[in-house]
């Protein structure tokens, strides 16, 4: 979920230890066997530079460049922290929980100044065997909003793509500061044409 500034500061401080642990596993494996991952209740924590997410950054301001873990530990913008955990519950499908945090540099569409948008997402997914099961669910009657989303059990499931999709969904379409002044765009004024006195023409006629 995306939270207000006060809650953002609170969870950011509370999760400091979790993010530090994620930094100890710099990078993200390209793929995992998703069904096995869920059934064996595996867990994966990590962090990586946000610059890898090309689809997310399209049209956004340039993000700080992060190459090293020690740099990432000192700043929030430019880093993505994540945790993927599998779980099995009696009578349910295999599941995975994705947690993602990031601070993304955006441009406020009210004042046109830079702003930092904090993302704190935690999403539960059911892991289904076949794509048809996912399609059937989407074609059914309106789904309970509390029903977990579904992921197809791909033996080469792309974790990075899943993380990027969640961040894309989290970023507001029209980002705005909570409080700022709307930017006033400069208006080019046409040079003022000197007004001609009507008596000037009359004086010219008299001089003929």
pLDDT tens-digit series, residues 90-144: 778 899 999 999 999 999 998 999 999 999 999 999 999 876 555 555 555 555 6
H, E, C per residue of the chain: CCCCHHHHHHHHHHCHHHHHHHHCCECCCCEECHHHHHHCCCEEEEEEEHHHCHHHHCCCCCCCCCCCHHHHCCCCECEEEEEEEEECCCCCCCEEEEEEEEEEEEECCCCCCEEEEEEEEEEEEEEECCHHHHHHHHHCCCCCCCCCEEEECCCCEEHHHHHHHHHHHHCCCCCCCCCCCCCCCCCCCCCCCCCCCHHHHHHHHHCC
Q: What is the pLDDT of residues 31-87, one digit of tens each?
A: 999 999 999 999 999 999 999 999 999 999 998 888 766 655 556 789 999 999 999
Q: How confident is the model at residue 1 (pLDDT cuts 50, 70, 90)?
A: very low
């Amino acid at each position: 979920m995306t939270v207000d500034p006060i809650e953002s500061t609170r969870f950011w401080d509370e999760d400091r230890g979790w993010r530090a642990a994620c930094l100890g596993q710099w990078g993200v494996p390209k793929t995992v066997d998703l069904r096995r991952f869920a059934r064996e209740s595996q867990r994966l924590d990590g962090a990586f530079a946000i610059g890898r997410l090309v689809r997310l950054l399209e049209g956004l301001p340039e993000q700080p460049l992060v190459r090293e873990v020690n740099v990432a530990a000192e700043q929030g913008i430019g880093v993505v922290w994540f945790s993927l955990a599998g779980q099995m519950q009696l009578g349910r499908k295999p599941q995975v929980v994705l947690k993602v945090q990031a601070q993304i540099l955006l441009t406020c569409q009210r004042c046109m100044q830079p702003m930092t948008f904090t993302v704190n997402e935690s999403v539960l997914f059911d892991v289904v065997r076949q794509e048809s099961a996912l399609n059937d669910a989407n074609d059914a009657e309106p789904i309970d909003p509390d029903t977990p989303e579904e992921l197809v059990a791909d033996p080469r499931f792309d974790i990075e793509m899943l993380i990027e999709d969640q961040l894309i969904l989290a970023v507001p379409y029209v980002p705005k500061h909570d409080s700022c002044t709307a930017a006033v765009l400069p208006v080019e004024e046409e040079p003022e044409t000197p007004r001609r006195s009507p008596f000037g023409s009359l004086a010219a006629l008299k001089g003929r």
